[in-house]
Structure 1
Amino acid sequence: MYPADLVKPMREELSVVGFKELHTSTEVDQAIKQKGTTLVVVNSVCGCAAANARPGARMSLDNEKTPDHLVTVFAGVDKDATDTARNHMVPFPPSSPSMALFKDGELVHMLERHHIEGRPADMIAQNLKQAYEQYC
């Protein structure tokens, strides 16, 4: 588990633009099962989360269509919440960072770590925007 002081600024990168932090399994289940579209970001302390994932997620919101709900769990901190989010992302293996778009509780789009690592934030944002155009 990472110290709260270490992850606070990493959490805030998403919460300041409207992502709701989820800390329990129940919160995750409720968020994903909501009507409409929900983007779930599995946040992480790794470098690709800072350089690519969080900026890409933020940039993706500059779009006409966006998800109805924005939520995030933090790998290595919110263990139960992260495990539950990942269970909803099966058949994709656990990875962090990662991003999943759900529509009415069903997984419709997934970005795994290998889609994030080494790719610029604007490419990640564009990938998400295309998913928003299709599902939101």
Structure 2
Amino acid sequence: MFMNDVVQVARQEMAEAGYTELKTSEDVDAVIQKPGKTFVMINSVCGCAGGIARPTAKYMKNYDVKADNYVTVFAGQDREATAQVRSYCEGYEPSSPSFALLKDGEIQTMIERHEIEGHEPMEVAEKLENAFDQYFK
């Protein structure tokens, strides 16, 4: 029961931040295959997701450079959707939490767990700002 509560809070946090939750491979394809810029937050229940990744994802919704789509999948919960997102992230190992920047269905870059865990939220935000400036302008 506790884990369900943690998952629900984490899902709600992203929904309130304006992210669309993708739960199936069809949901993922429908967004990522559209022309445009897609920012994916691969969510998880670990402490670094709650203390660093989700707050950073919320912050990025307000950054000057915008994605066309802000979406999230939940690793360990929505396995089909998470696997489908990862299929677009060629060259990167599965990692959660993490962030993927895709443009016209092609991976541009990822911020992986090792770049999130143990870092301050603003450090991660700076990495994402630089990535948005480079790939989404």
Q: Would you call these one fold, judging by a TM-score over 0.5? A: yes
Q: Give matches, 1:77-116, under 5 Å.
A: 77-116=77-116
1:16 corresponds to which residue?
A: 16
1:27 corresponds to which residue?
A: 27
Q: Is the 8 A contact 1:40 1:70 kept in 2?
A: yes
Runs of 4+ that moved beyond 4 A: none
Q: Is the 8 A contact 1:56 1:123 kept in 2?
A: no
2:61 corresponds to which residue?
A: 61
What letter is aligned with 1:78? D
Is 1:76–2:71 an aligned residue pair?
no
Q: Distance in 1 between matches of 2:85 and 2:4?
A: 20
Deviation at 1:58, TM superposition (A): 1.1
Classify the secondary structure of the residue corresponding to 1:53. Answer: helix
What letter is aligned with 1:84? Q
Q: What are the ranges of 5 or more consecutive residues in structure 2 without an aligned counterpart?
A: none
Q: What are the ranges of 5 or more consecutive residues in structure 1 without an aligned counterpart?
A: none
Q: Is the 8 A contact 1:60 1:126 kept in 2?
A: no
Relative to the length of structure 2, the TM-score reads 0.92
- Aligned pair count reads 135
Deviation at 1:127, TM superposition (A): 1.1
Q: Distance in 2 between matches of 1:119 and 1:10?
A: 20
Q: Deviations over 1:7-32 (max 9, x none)?
A: 11101211112100000011111111
Q: Deviations over 1:82-105 (max 9, x none)?
A: 111111112101011011000111
Deviation at 1:135, TM superposition (A): 2.1
Q: Deviations over 1:45-91 (max 9, x none)?
A: 00110111111111122221111100100011101001111111121
Q: Distance in 2 between matches of 1:5 and 1:50?
A: 13
